[in-house]
Structure 1
Amino acid sequence: MTFLGVFAWSPVSSATVTTTLGVDPGAWNVWRNRRLTPAPLSRTWFRRASGSPLVYQVSDVLVWLATKRGEHIDPLTTWRLSLARDFGTETSDPVEIRRLAVLYARAVGPVIGGVRFTTAGFQAYLASLLSSS
């Protein structure tokens, strides 16, 4: 599964998730209300948008999908695979993977895949990339 135009550590709106997965948005909301989906990122990180969509990290969605298929993958592995696929960068060092994710996220800036961060939210997001598993 690939989310076009974004990386595994990137945030995406719930609309992007449902479109990419081919899932009815109403069904996604029911699953979310039943706590069957990955947890969205903190709403306080983002500027309010029309309809106030929830925002997810791509790696969380990919891990959730793998779990549903009985596979095991962790977020850092999705980031490593994204670095290899999108940038041709091969590394298995967790510190280097996190550092590169922050570097590329910072380069893209506070608007990623149509998701707009607040200033404080963007800083919190970058900090979260350094501490993610």
Structure 2
Amino acid sequence: MFEITDQALSLEPLISVVKRSSSGAVATFLGVVREQTRGRRVRYLEYEAYREMAIPKMREIADEIHRKWEVDQIAMVHRVGRLEIGEASVAIAVSAPHRHAALAACGYAINRLKEIVPIWKKEVWTDGEEWVGPRM
């Protein structure tokens, strides 16, 4: 499951997709809009994505993970549109026979997603705004 959506995110559907009878662990990550960043008060965030490239990049990350760790399945979903404080922007789930691989792969997935997936975030503060994107 690799998706870009404008719908609210929940971890349960991702967990259901990745969990296998061989899975001894399912590690998850849920990125949530916080009220402050770099010392500035956030009003809201707005996300945009180049969908046609984002999904293949997510699959590329999954391929990297499968080469590095023994994992069962990987799911990544990123939300686009306007998100308020407390709303989830990204959800990741990784299943594996052992917790160490699941946890390491989940951490790797979010870091790589931020590096190479073409998703841009506009941070809107009480005193300005700025677009932030991947470090491709």
TM, length-normalised to structure 2 = 0.30
- Greater fraction helix: 1
Is the strand fraction higher in 1 or 2? 2
In the superposition, the TM-score normalised over structure 1's length comes to 0.30
Q: Which has the larger radius of gyration?
A: 2
